[in-house]
Structure 1
Amino acid sequence: MVKWNQVRSILLAGAVSSISLLSACGGTSGGTASPSAPASDAASPQASDKPVTISFLHWRGEDVKSFNGIIEQFQKEYPNIKVEMQTMPSDQYQSTAQAKLADGSVGDVFTSFPGAQFQALSKAGIFKDLTGEKFLENFNEPLIQVGKKDGKQLAIPYQLVYNDPIYNVKLFEKYNLTPPKDWEGFLALCEKLKSNGIIPIAFAGADIGPGQLMNTMVMNNGPADIFTKVEAGEAKLTDEFWVKTLTQFKELNDKGYFQPNALGTKDAAAGALFIQEKAAILASGSYQLAQNKQQNPNLVQKLLAPITVTADKAVYEGVHTSTFLLAVNNKSKHPEEAKKFIEFLSRKDIAGQYANETGQNVTVKDVQYTTDELKAAAEWANKKTLFQPRFTITNAENQKAVTNSIQAVLSGKSPEDAAKEAQAIVDQQLKK
Structure 2
Amino acid sequence: MASLALAGCSSEGSSGDKDGKTTISFIHWRGEDVEVFNELIAKFEEENPEIKVDMTAYPSEQYQSTAQTLLRDGTTGDVFVSMPGSQFEIIQKAGFFEDLSGEEFVSNFNESLLEVGQSEGKQYALPYQLVFNQPIYNAGIFEELGLEPPTDWEGFLALCETLKENGYTPIAFPGADIGPGQFMNAMMMNNATDEEVFTKLVNGEVKLTDEWWVKTLSQFKELNDKEYFQDNALGTKHDGAIALVGQEKAAMLATGSYAMANIKSHKEDVKLNLLAPITVSESEAKYEGIHTTTFMLAVNSKSEKQEQAKAFIEFLSKPENASVYANKTGQHLTVNDVNYESEVLKDTVHWMDKNTRFQPRYLIPNADVEKAVVGSIQDVLSGTDPAEAAKKAQQIVDQNLN
* TM-score for the superposition, normalised by structure 1: 0.88
- Deviation sequence 1:21-75 (CA, Å, 0-9, x none): xx9443148xxxxxxxxxxxxxxxxxxx962100000011111111111111111
1:416 aligns with 2:387: yes
Structure 2 match to 1:246: 217
The letter for the 2-side match of 1:117 is Q
- 1:292 is paired with a residue whose SS is helix
1:27 aligns with 2:7: yes
- Deviation sequence 1:102-130 (CA, Å, 0-9, x none): 12121100001000111111111111111
1:71 aligns with 2:41: yes
- Deviation sequence 1:316-340 (CA, Å, 0-9, x none): 0000000000001111121111011
Gapped regions of structure 2 (runs ≥ 5): 10-18
For the 8 Å contact 2:242–2:262, the answer to whether it is kept is: no
Taking the aligned partners of 2:323 and 2:145, their CA distance within structure 1 comes to 37
For the 8 Å contact 2:299–2:306, the answer to whether it is kept is: yes
The letter for the 2-side match of 1:319 is I
Deviation at 1:195, TM superposition (A): 1.4
- 1:204 is paired with a residue whose SS is coil
- 1:85 is paired with a residue whose SS is strand
1:92 aligns with 2:72: no
Taking the aligned partners of 2:334 and 2:189, their CA distance within structure 1 comes to 23
**Aligned residue among 331, 334, 357 for 1:360:** 331
For the 8 Å contact 2:243–2:266, the answer to whether it is kept is: no
**Aligned residue among 279, 292, 296 for 2:250:** 279
Deviation at 1:224, TM superposition (A): 2.2
- 2:151 is paired with a residue whose SS is coil
- 1:268 is paired with a residue whose SS is helix
> 1:162-311, aligned counterparts within 5 Å?
162-222=132-192, 223-311=194-282
Structure 1 match to 2:82: 112
The letter for the 1-side match of 2:392 is E
Gapped regions of structure 1 (runs ≥ 5): 1-22, 30-48
- 1:72 is paired with a residue whose SS is helix
- 1:83 is paired with a residue whose SS is strand
- Deviation sequence 1:5-33 (CA, Å, 0-9, x none): xxxxxxxxxxxxxxxxxx9443148xxxx
For the 8 Å contact 1:28–1:68, the answer to whether it is kept is: no
**Aligned residue among 309, 317, 332 for 2:303:** 332
Number of residue-to-residue matches in the alignment: 390
Taking the aligned partners of 1:294 and 1:375, their CA distance within structure 2 comes to 18
**Aligned residue among 367, 370, 380 for 2:351:** 380
The letter for the 1-side match of 2:149 is P
- 1:126 is paired with a residue whose SS is coil
Structure scoring higher RCO (CA < 8 A, sep ≥ 6) equals: 1
Deviation at 1:294, TM superposition (A): 2.2
Structure 2 match to 1:34: none
Structure 2 match to 1:36: none
